[in-house]
Structure 1
Amino acid sequence: MSETTFTLTYDGPSLADHTMDVADLAPALVALSQFMKSAARLTQGDDFEVVVRAKALETGCFQIVLDVSGTFVSQVIDLMAGRTSTAIANLLGIAGGTIGLIAWIKGRHVRRLRPSRPGYTVIELEDGAEVEVPEAEARVALDPPARAALEKVVEPLEKDGIDTVAFKMPRETITVSEVDLDAFKAVVHAGDEILETTAPMVFSIVSLSFQPGNKWRLSTGKGAPISVTVADEDFIGQVQRSEVAFAKGDILICTVRTTSRDAGGKLATDYTILKVNEHRRISKPPSLLD
């Protein structure tokens, strides 16, 4: 398990004695944990678990030093040296970037999202303003559970005497003031446009189909299996030439395009495997192709 720290600081006249009402603090800390978990799920996949702990209280305004630790559930990921520490560092960078992005949007209507250079997307607002941001930050900033959690983190600013909350991340410090409260409301509109992100994912095989147009049933290790389209023609060619055989439970390490769209008022998500980077045999029962 890898870990790092960042500081959350609430400031204002009512905090001059370095104390804060637990009724305000506790929901905000729970919400911060939920926000980090949502960001981890969206950017690192369901296989990555994040824990946020309050390490210490420091004087000066009202500061909370928070420890963020994480681990990949799947043993196959744990074998990749350095991956966990990198994931935590990336997560905190994404979290900080997301907070800054939300402050920039300022509650304006998101008209559409369009793909940009690899790893980036352009957000277009209803007033014509646009910005290019990392796909991961856009994905978190437009995720309803992540936004609802972050709204509660800044909610203490509604109290008299609390003027700012600062997120001191390893790479930057983002300060939110009471005038920014409306920008952090959880209502987000992304219209009918498609948001596409590309990221590595790990699946275990549930069932396969090699008929044209049929999807594979794969598991991320949490929740029900999902249907996934395989667009890696080289890999499909290997399978059709009987160069690759599978068994239930085998592991696939892939590069995956995730597409989120508005389907009649409901969020729909499609998964497409662009590249099968590695196939690991977990056991050797009869092949699914037999």
Structure 2
Amino acid sequence: MSSDDDMPSVNFTVKYDGEAIREHEMDVALLAPALLGMQKIIEELVKASTEGEYKASLKIKGNVKQGSIEIELVTQAIANFPTQIIDFFSGKYTTAAANLITIIGAGGLFALYNLVRKYGHKRPEKIEYLDGDKVKLYFDNETTIVNQNVFIVYNKFEVRENLFKTVKPLEKEGIDTFEILKNGELLIQVKKDEVSRFFPPRLTESLLLDENITYLQIKSISFNLNNKWTFTNGDEDIKANIIDSIFIDKVAKRDISFSDGDILKVRLEKEQYMENDKLKTSYKIIEVLEHIKGSQQIPIDFPNV
């Protein structure tokens, strides 16, 4: 039975440089989130490339060279299941070791950082899946080919968020470059003026924006800062923000009264979006076109002013 120390590992160096750290010091409040971000990125790359059979462990080996901050890191692939450790000279072990070398190199970290550094928040206009687990991405008039696992990781919000954490120290005055080196060879360099390209994309992704004229029957009125009222469209209940300032002003001035069964003819905006991998729907009433009275008056709970 082998120990974790027998599992495949690769060393690489993370380096920050600039006038602010010439004395070989860096605020832990900047460095700690950056290293934790790197840990998460490596975890996702190892998980994707080994189909979840291995997990990543990232350890600090030491600091080298004065005049900058260079931290040598050891990343290790650790088997997720005990049966995988029994014969660590098996094909799976060899594959894991090869994958790890690729991950800390042109086929992994470099490709991931380079995609964001070069294209920022752009989405590929076309995706072409090639043989050998490769994918060809079309951006404007350019194309780039990366491993499918890199593209999968690239599309995860958490990974994009952690990529930004690793370069966020560059926002501080006097820290000018972020680099990743392996065996003294420069793999990745991000400069201060490139940080904005690493801002994580919105957590929510709009999928559909639709507007139509429809009738809604009032179920409850909530006159607050959001003006989110509950309606029925005949088939289901929905909550909608009213952003028609003229209508809201009339309600606030008590120029409009409401009765049980009142119907509003409205311009309704419907948005469907993804949030944390969940499909959600929101509604906005852009304009109230007509107020059709019901029979029984509804009291309105106005906020105290």
Moved over 6 A (4+): 188-192
Deviations 1:16-75 (A, max 9, x none): 111111111111111111111122222222221111111101123110011111211224
1:155 aligns with 2:162: no
The aligned residue for residue 274 of structure 2 is 265
The aligned residue for residue 67 of structure 1 is 74
Out of 18, 29, 49, the residue aligned to residue 12 of structure 1 is 18
The aligned residue for residue 138 of structure 1 is 151
Inter-partner Cα distance in structure 2 for 1:150 and 1:191: 23
Deviations 1:236-287 (A, max 9, x none): xxxxxxxxxxxxxxxxxxxxxxxxxxx963649xxxxxxxxxxxxxxxxxxx
Change (3 A) 1:172 1:18: closer
Q: 1:161 deviation in Å?
A: 0.2
Out of 15, 29, 36, the residue aligned to residue 35 of structure 2 is 29
TM-score (norm 2): 0.59
Q: 1:12 deviation in Å?
A: 0.5
Once superposed, what is the RMSD of the aligned Cα atoms? Answer: 2.5
| Contact preservation (8 Å) 2:103, 2:109 | yes
1:118 aligns with 2:155: no
Between 135-144 and 178-187, report the one with greater CA deviation.
135-144
1:175 aligns with 2:189: yes
Residue identity (%): 20
The aligned residue for residue 94 of structure 2 is 82
Paired residue total: 197
Q: 1:176 deviation in Å?
A: 0.4
Q: 1:76 deviation in Å?
A: 4.2
Inter-partner Cα distance in structure 2 for 1:169 and 1:142: 25
Change (3 A) 1:55 1:45: same
Higher RCO, Cα 8 Å, sep 6+ = 1
| Contact preservation (8 Å) 1:157, 1:164 | yes
Inter-partner Cα distance in structure 2 for 1:68 and 1:122: 28
| Contact preservation (8 Å) 1:103, 1:183 | yes
Q: 1:172 deviation in Å?
A: 4.8
Inter-partner Cα distance in structure 2 for 1:38 and 1:28: 16
Change (3 A) 1:77 1:191: farther
Q: What does 1:251-262 align with in structure 2 at a 5 Å threshold?
A: none
State the one-letter code of the partner of 1:146: V
State the one-letter code of the partner of 2:172: K
Inter-partner Cα distance in structure 1 for 2:72 and 2:43: 18
Inter-partner Cα distance in structure 2 for 1:155 and 1:53: 21
Inter-partner Cα distance in structure 1 for 2:15 and 2:197: 19
Inter-partner Cα distance in structure 2 for 1:168 and 1:74: 31
Inter-partner Cα distance in structure 1 for 2:153 and 2:22: 34
| Contact preservation (8 Å) 1:107, 1:182 | no
Change (3 A) 1:76 1:172: farther
| Contact preservation (8 Å) 1:107, 1:183 | yes
Inter-partner Cα distance in structure 1 for 2:134 and 2:274: 26
| Contact preservation (8 Å) 2:49, 2:99 | no
SS in 1 for 2:173: coil
State the one-letter code of the partner of 2:40: Q
Deviations 1:186-214 (A, max 9, x none): 2179998xxxxxxxxxxxxxxxxxxxxxx
| Contact preservation (8 Å) 1:112, 1:190 | no
Higher Cα Rg, which structure: 2
The aligned residue for residue 44 of structure 1 is 50
TM-score (norm 1): 0.61
The aligned residue for residue 63 of structure 2 is 57
